[in-house]
Amino acid sequence: MSLRYKSDYRTLFWALVLFPLLPALCLAEPRALPWLIPLALYTSYCSGVLTHNQVHVPVFRSHAANALYGMWLSIFYGCPIALWIPTHLEHHHRHVDGPEDLTRTRRRSVKHNLWQAIAYTASCARWQWPLISDYVRRARQRRGREWAALRDQSLALLLAHAGVLALAVHLRGTGPGLLCYGLAFGLPALLAPNFMLFTNYIQHVHCDPASADNHSRNFVSAFVNWFVFDAGYHTVHHERPSTHWSRYAELHRQRAGSIAPSLQSHSVLAFCLENYLLGVFAPRFRTRPLAGEPRAAAEVPSVQGRLHAAG
């Protein structure tokens, strides 16, 4: 059960203590639920961040420990975390918002506003379905570790949610029990994948997928990044996807001078307030495309391809 990186002791505290704390508090004292909503939204977002980190750089050295941890994270993420593999590792990191990326931010529109961000997030599952279905088919045919992970994570997710729902109804009655389960456990798990898809949108919208420096937007507040495991440093993550999250801040400091200032925002919340609230009244708060209309897929080398050629 040894960790690969000591900084992941904090990861495990979030996953093993904070994540289950919210439904436990709600079941113990349902009247506290309104005050727990901010914590529910925060832990929901963090469940997406931690699943993302786990599929890139597993927390444990042991495969068995990582398998159990993957089942645990799937419960709070609301989806088997193995599905990050076909949609994120094998696809998004290969095409990085370019013309071949099925979830490219320009797919619905080159415009950027709140409606486009919401519509994009709602459309991504449908766009990703061919990748997911093909991956599940291949994993089932091979019957190896990938299939075991999908099976075990799906089973853990279903059993845990059914168990918490039954316990909530048993302890608090049908109405209050359903409310506790829904707001403290079910809804955060439902929102978590959508939070990640929305974040992916704002990390790439109006960036330049053909640029070696400006393919991603970064959220650079050190204070905020502490609470989201340095997930704001997105450029270096795309360039070194197998690097542990604890090194992102240092790598970003070395890289920041080459990245357009407009792609270094304070935080996700500040970016949303500027673009989706202030931007309604003042155009200067809105993003502007760094690139023109995208070229044909064959003309736009991927970021990974350019890095390989440069190396």
For residues 52 and 228, is the Cβ–Cβ distance under 8 A? no
Residue 307: predicted pLDDT:
42
Q: Over range 220-245, report the average pLDDT.
A: 97
Residue 213: predicted pLDDT:
96
Element (H, E) at 219: strand 218-219
The position carrying tokens 């935080």 is 267
Element (H, E) at 264: strand 264-265
Q: Over range 50-73, report the average pLDDT.
A: 97
Nearest-angstrom CA–CA distance, 51 and 199: 14
Residue 293: predicted pLDDT:
43
Q: Which two tokens stand for residue 95?
A: 């095409």
Q: Which residues contact 219 (CB under 8 A, 6 or more apart)?
A: 225, 231, 232, 233, 234, 265, 266, 267, 268, 271
Amino acid identity at 5: Y
Confidence of residue 300 (pLDDT cuts 50, 70, 90): very low
Confidence of residue 146 (pLDDT cuts 50, 70, 90): very high
The per-residue pLDDT of the chain, averaged, comes to: 92
Residue 198: predicted pLDDT:
98
Residue 238: predicted pLDDT:
97
pLDDT at 60 over 90: yes
Residue 310: predicted pLDDT:
36
Confidence of residue 227 (pLDDT cuts 50, 70, 90): very high
Q: Over range 138-143, report the average pLDDT.
A: 94
For residues 179 and 255, is the Cβ–Cβ distance under 8 A? no
Q: Which two tokens stand for residue 121?
A: 């997030």
Confidence of residue 168 (pLDDT cuts 50, 70, 90): very high
Q: How do residues 23-59 score in pLDDT, each as one tens digit?
A: 999 999 999 988 999 999 999 999 999 999 999 999 9
The conformation of residue 83, written as its DSSP 8-state character, comes to: G
Q: Which two tokens stand for residue 279?
A: 């931007």
Nearest-angstrom CA–CA distance, 172 and 66: 35
Q: Which residues contact 232 (CB under 8 A, 6 or more apart)?
A: 218, 219, 220, 221, 224, 225, 267, 268
pTM over 0.85: yes
- Greater confidence, 306 or 198? 198
**Between β-strands 264-265 and 218-219, what pairing exists: parallel, antiparallel or unpaired?**
parallel
Confidence of residue 301 (pLDDT cuts 50, 70, 90): very low
Between CA 159 and CA 264, with CA 191 as vertex, the angle to 5 degrees is: 135
Phi-psi region of 147 (alpha: psi -120 to 50; beta: other; left: phi over 0): alpha
